Structure 1
Amino acid sequence: MKLKNILLSFIVLSFCQSWSQKIVVQSPNKKNVVALYAMDSNNKGEWYLKISQQTDKNTTEILPKVSLGISRSDQDFSKELLFLKATKPKLVKEHYELPFGKKLVRDNEANEVVVSFENPGKAKLNLIIRAYNDGATFRYEFPEKKGSYVVNDEFTAYQIPKDSKRWLEKWNTANEGLYAESSDDKIVQQEWCYPALFNSSDKSCWFLLHEADLDRNYCGTKLSNTKDSNIYKLTFPDPKDGRGTGEPKPSISLPWQSPWRVISMGSLADIVESTLVEDVSTPTRFKTTDWIKPGKVSWNYWSSNHGTKDFKTVCEFADLAVAMKWPYTLLDWEWDGMTNGGNLEDALKYIHSKGVKPLMWYNSGGDHTWVSSTPKDRMLTHKNRVEEFTKLKKLGVVGVKIDFFESEKQNMIQYYLNILEDAAQFEMMVYFHGCIVPRGWSRTYPNLMTYEGVRGAEWYNNVPEFTNTAPEHNTILPFTRNVVGAMDYTPVTFTNSQYPHITSYGHELALSVLFESPLQHLADRPEGYYELPNEAKNFLKEVPTSWDDTKLIDGYPGQEVTMARKKGANWYIGGISASERKEITKKIKLEFLAEGVNYQAVLIADGKHDKAFSSKTMVVNKNATIDVKLLRRGGFAVSLIPIQN
């Protein structure tokens, strides 16, 4: 209560100053500050936000200007906005859990202020601002009760200081590009995917731009700096996306709220460990979630692009799941054309006889995709989905992988959410490929297990380029794409696909910890796992796919990353290097371990060459360090299990 009174006094004091100057909202820990400014002195006109971070020594200006405004088909809400009022600050405080993800227990805590404006037509616009300990968020609201309109444009734009470093991915509808680092006079101007990572000019603060709580009342957006290299404006989907189907501008009905505009900020550890995207998203209305079960999956496509067409191959991957104690196996595309000793029903019967649960692939269907692979239209309409989910439930299938969406227009957002809602009625888990990146939906629809939306291991099938770009790419993803939600990279391969990998075996093993996905598809062929030494094989049997806690130990995007994740009382560590030139030696401090507990640590690191391991078992506690040597493009994994006295 005392803290709340102090915050109230601080913000009210700000309100008593000239409105043209600013309204200030501070995070609960007073570190992050969001200030609202008017462009002129009469509380009327254009408004913008300034976002900064305060420390004991200085204040870092993270975003000197975030332009605001929105335009509807009937009128504009950007140029001549008259300030009406601001609410008293409200402490948002929420405690919740998710059955999977980087953390089990979440705390959604922020200070919130709602600022009300009026345009020349007397129509109202609210700006809802929140300051979090790990970032800031804001959203627009039309509070009036009636009216339906098209949104012509949203003017939200982030001004980035010129000498800020940035890591961005060129826009593509599948979100499967590479992140590129740029700064100073080497800034490329084009459209960009979410999320976008930046390091402040003074290097003291990192921030990640994204959006969350996107619902059926809007479209997905992207970032564009085509007009000014240092101003990243939100833009709507291209009319050509989805083969031209659907409208690029969203239609809304009042009352209405936009998605949250999300700025995660702080140290690299603050970014990696943040759950802000899910914190601000709508809580689930599911009555039960005990049927939602994360786990590892055997998957035949990476090693055999037509593997599911072959009954014997399907059986081999079911046997792999049994041998490795993985609960699931995926029947990917072409299951409807299965031959060589059996068909789909035979395969499902075999899989169930082994105690493994099947997942099945579907084409999203419809005119929005060029891909004709069957079955194509069984997920396209509510009627089709109900019929298909009814069949799948009888066949004992527990989840579906749905592919090829190719658009983030409003009609496609509605399609995603319709699938999730219908699937939930049948207690069916879902994951998307060729798709959007996470927008917080896993909190609202916890049957959404994972998304692709990443340049993952299947690109070893597609182009020779990935052989050389993967090591660096792998060290960027934990700071960018995987921060905002589950990522179906399909990692941990030791043999080669069409094109080889040059990451070490230790690097590949570490990805099982570094890359978070509640359904983790381990992509290698059976012999790739059977031929592993026992320590590595046991690690892949035991490593979880959902976590109680996540800690970044150290790293830098494009160079290296080491992370620790907790499940129950156990901890797991994964670390990789992208270095092409030199081996490195790391000292891993174990300060995150429980006080007064000894752990058996099994270290599995690079061996004498990149296709060999070295293993070591030791007893450690939180005061210990582990020394580990990484080869070029190398890596390591550690399990830490409490020793029972």
Structure 2
Amino acid sequence: MNKAHHIFADSHSQFEAKSPNGKVVLRLQVEDRLLWSVEYAGQSLILPSPVSLQLENGEVLGEHVNVKSCETTGVDTQFQAINYRKAIVKDQYTHLLVQFENDFGIEFHVYDDAVAYRFTTQKPGQLVVKNEEANFNFTADHPAFIPYMWDYRDGQIFNSSFEAQYAEHNISQFKPGSLAFLPLLIDAGNGKKVVILEADLEDYPGMYLDLNQTGLGFKAVFAPYPLETRRGGYANMNVIPTRRAEYIARTEGTRTFPWRAIAVSEADKELLNNDIVQKLASPPRLEDVSWIIPGQVAWDWWNDYNLTGVDFKAGMNTPTFKYFIDFATANKAKYIILDAGWSELFDLNKVNPDVDLEEILAYANRKNIGVVLWACWYAITQQMKEIFPRYAKMGVKGWKIDFIDRDDQIAVASTYEIAKLAAEYKMMVDYHGVFKPTGLQRTYPNVVGYEGVYGLENFKWADYDAPRYDVTVPYTRNMAGPMDYTPGAMTNATQANFKARNHAPMSKGTRCHQLAEYIVFDVPFQMLADSPSAYMGEQECTDFITSVPTVFVETVPLDGKVGEYVSIAREKDGVWYVGALTNWDAR
């Protein structure tokens, strides 16, 4: 570890930090504004781009500043990952910290495959952030893969499921009046790719992107702080802000803010093993994680209880879930989920009379199968202090929490509060209807899944190019963290014979495409989306699926090209698993 300290007293300086291998160069210009820029392997990627924090009191942290000090540090360490795609994460970077007068600073981490920065403040009391300025100015009108917000709840642009296919067009063609969520990928030319992400998002709103005034770059946009809300949206399960403040966050005056990051690569396959979000996340806050057991999950909702050859009426009832438990036991899955309908939507104490929860839990316990319950976010926020201890005592192992569909400061803080309280009762959390992961999964490892992906459920109602999407998300969305795509369809269709349907749904692409997703897609809590009957009818495929671990010791990308194909190898207990996916083109 090497340190260099420099003291300055002027308002016009330039600071530089290089990655350990010297290929990534970060520059911070201190002029009338703070401007950051990045070069990679001799190519300019990010042109000077302004950043600042604008406070409600009129102060702008990042304009007309005076430097107090600068410190650069070389860091070479590693940490043990919990339920991840590798056991050990090597963390090597150059750290640059510049402190300014007026009690704030900006710090950078410069990696061989990424650059990240964040603001720090050392102000007394509380701080009201009116807005944050973040820009990513590119050198040309590059092609991009852009996930637009579109599935608005009650017409509100900041209320969405965060599930979108990628629009593929140049930066300048960004849709007016739209916002994009992260991660977002740019093809910077000469084989280089840039993925924009954020990390360690806590007590602060998530970052969206819009086209900035250069026409060749992006600017950050944040959801204003909610002041009043009402129930609405899908089936009245969403909590919709009806009045918002003229600021984005009210927070502690002394804190670190979320990281704004870019991952970079010279070959697309390098993105498949980029750990930037894991590295930037706050370390685990749980001492004992032995009870957090990853595994596969027999899931009821996607297959619509499509059981055959049974002597009971399949549906939301006790015999059906006992059958799912038997299937899980016979096929080495560790969990089942009781999805929507096991209780009243807004009162989780009122159990469906057709569901004998105590009998199901007792039966599952005898079979060593964990039971996870579904709930909408609204009900959880109203009842979690009561129901978490109650259901934990009954033997429930976790919660699938759905329809958050927001990432303002309140919603983001809630995901931490839920994870913390659930951990106190040794319960896992799988977030659905939620923004992308930003590191909470490391900080609270009982968070074992995130949706925020245009997953298999969409085949029940939509006709889209899933094979191309499936070979895009490993380079984008899955870099952010665990991705609950819910694979495993046993009925598989060509483009010509596909039909979207709720009962007995199907997927596009081959059966092997579905099998390979269990290796390619990262998530420690992995669904078996189809019905037990479908899997038992294809036992050879099922045996393969359930032989694949959900966490690994080592991951090695083999080859790939965004939107075209991906090939990856993973190791656990001395066994290597190789998965490859393609779009519609044979290879």
Normalization by structure 2: what TM-score?
Answer: 0.86
| Residue 558 (structure 2) pairs with residue 553 (structure 1) | yes
SS class of match (2:381) = coil
Superposed CA deviations along residues 485-530 of structure 1, whole A, max 9, x for unmatched, are 0000100111275353221001111111111110001101112211
Q: Which residue pairs with 1:512 in the alignment?
A: 518
Of 9, 14, 28, 1:22 maps to 14
- Percent sequence identity is 26
For 1:234, which of 220, 240, 245 is the aligned residue? Answer: 220
TM-aligned CA deviation for residue 575 of structure 1: 0.8
- The one of 14, 33, 46 equivalent to 1:63 is 46
Asked if residue 154 in structure 1 is aligned to residue 132 in structure 2, the reply is yes
Q: Could you tell me which amino acid in structure 2 is paired with residue 194 of structure 1?
A: L
DSSP 3-state at the match of 2:482: coil
Give 1 or 2 for the bigger CA radius of gyration: 1
Q: Could you say if the C-alpha distance between residues 79 and 361 of structure 1 is closer, same or farther in structure 2, counting changes exceeding 3 Å?
A: closer
1:292 aligns with 2:292: yes
Query: 1:81, 1:117 within 8 Å by CA — same for their partners in 2?
Result: no
Q: Distance in 2 between matches of 1:501 and 1:342?
A: 30
CA drift at 1:343: 2.2
Whichever residue aligns with residue 186 of structure 2, its letter is F
Question: Distance in 2 between the 1:522 and 1:229 partners?
Answer: 44
Shift of the alpha carbon at 1:347? 2.3
1:176 aligns with 2:163: yes
Q: How does 1:23-172 map to 2 (within 5 A)?
A: 23-38=15-30, 44-54=31-41, 59-77=42-60, 80-118=63-101, 123-144=102-123, 146-172=124-150
Contact 1:33 1:53 in 2 (8 A): yes
Task: Kindly indicate whether residue 406 of structure 2 is the aligned counterpart of residue 407 of structure 1.
Answer: yes
- C-alpha distance 238-255 of structure 1, shift in aligned 2 (>3 A): closer
Measured in 1, the distance between the counterparts of 2:225 and 2:458 equals 27
CA distance in 2 between partners of 1:244 and 1:228 (Å): 32
1:192 counterpart SS class: coil
Alpha-carbon contact 1:311-1:340 (below 8 Å) kept: no
Counterparts of 1:527-542 in structure 2, within 5 Å, are: 527-532=533-538, 534=540, 536-542=541-547
Partner amino acid, structure 2, of 1:316: Y
- Cα distance, 1:341–1:441 mapped onto 2, change above 3 Å: closer
Q: Which residue among 472, 475, 486 is the counterpart of 2:471?
A: 475
- Maintained 8 Å contact 1:72/1:152: yes
The letter for the 2-side match of 1:464 is A
**Structure 1 position 319 matched with structure 2 position 322:** no
Deviations 1:257-277 (A, max 9, x none): 210111111232332201111
Higher relative contact order (CA 8 A, sep 6+): 2
CA contact (8 A) 1:25 1:34 kept: yes
Cα 1:529/1:69, change in 2 over 3 Å: same
CA change 1:77–1:549 in 2 (3 A) is same
Corresponding residue SS for 2:459: helix
**Partner Cα separation in structure 1 for residue 225 and residue 457 of structure 2:** 28
**1:336-351 correspondence to structure 2 within 5 Å:** 336=343, 342-351=355-364
Does the CA-based 8 Å contact 2:377-2:402 persist in structure 1? yes
Change beyond 3 A, Cα 1:159–1:308: farther
For 1:390 and 1:78, the matched residues in 2 are separated by 44
Q: Deviation at 1:456?
A: 0.7
Q: Equivalent of 2:482, from 486, 491, 511? A: 486
Partner of 1:427: 426
Specify the SS of the correspondent of 1:272: helix
The one-letter amino acid paired with 2:263 is S
Of 491-500 and 151-160, deviating more is 491-500
**1:214-363 aligned within 5 A:** 214-216=201-203, 218-225=204-211, 227-237=213-223, 242-244=239-241, 247=245, 249-266=248-265, 267-304=267-304, 309-336=316-343, 342-363=355-376
Query: Offset at 1:305?
Result: 7.0
The residue correspondences of 1:565-576 to structure 2 (distance < 5 A) are 565-576=570-581
Instruction: Decide whether aligned partners of structure 1 residues 418 and 341 sit closer, same or farther in structure 2, where only a CA change above 3 A counts.
Output: closer
Runs of 5+ unmatched residues, structure 1 = 39-43, 366-376, 585-645
What is the root-mean-square deviation of aligned Cα atoms in Å? 2.5
**1-structure distance, mates of 2:288, 2:19:** 33
Cα separation, 2, equivalents of 1:490 and 1:474: 12
DSSP 3-state at the match of 1:494? coil
Partner deviation per Cα, 1:258-312 (whole Å, 9 max, x = no partner):
1011111123233220111111111112111100110000001001079762323
Alignment correspondent of 1:589: none
Runs of 4+ aligned structure 1 residues displaced above 6 Å come to 337-341
The amino acid across from 1:35 in the alignment is R
Structure 1 residues 457-476: aligned runs within 5 Å: 457-461=456-460, 463-465=461-463, 468-476=464-472
- Cα deviation code 1:394-440 (max 9, x no counterpart): 22111111111121111111111111111111111111110111011
Question: What are the equivalent positions in structure 2 for 1:607-622 lying under 5 Å apart?
Answer: none
What is the TM-score when the length of structure 1 is the normalising length?
0.79
Post-superposition shift, 1:186? 4.2
Alpha-carbon distance, 1:339 to partner:
6.8
Count of residue correspondences: 540
Partner SS for 2:92: strand
Q: How far has the Cα of 1:539 moved from its partner?
A: 1.4
Q: Deviations over 1:49-81 (max 9, x none)?
A: 110112xxxx01111122211100112325742
2:309 counterpart residue number: none
The answer on 1:207 being equivalent to 2:194 is yes
Structure 1 CA distance for aligned equivalents of residues 529 and 28 of structure 2: 49
Corresponding position: 1:524 with 2:530: yes
Kept in 2: contact 1:331–1:359 (CA 8 A):
yes
Is contact 2:24–2:40 with CA below 8 Å preserved after alignment? yes
Q: What code does the residue aligned with 1:333 have? A: A
Q: In structure 1, what is the equivalent of residue 586 of structure 2?
A: 583
Alignment-derived partner of residue 185 in structure 2 = 197
Deviations 1:175-232 (A, max 9, x none): 11111221276443431010111121x323211111111112x211211116554221
| Aligned residue identity for 1:314 | F
Point out where structure 2 has 5 or more consecutive residues left out of the alignment: 151-159, 230-238, 307-313, 345-350, 493-500
Question: What is the match of residue 188 of structure 1?
Answer: 175
Normalized per residue, the structure richer in strand is 2
Cα distance in structure 1, aligned partners of 2:318 and 2:551: 31
1:620 maps to which residue? none
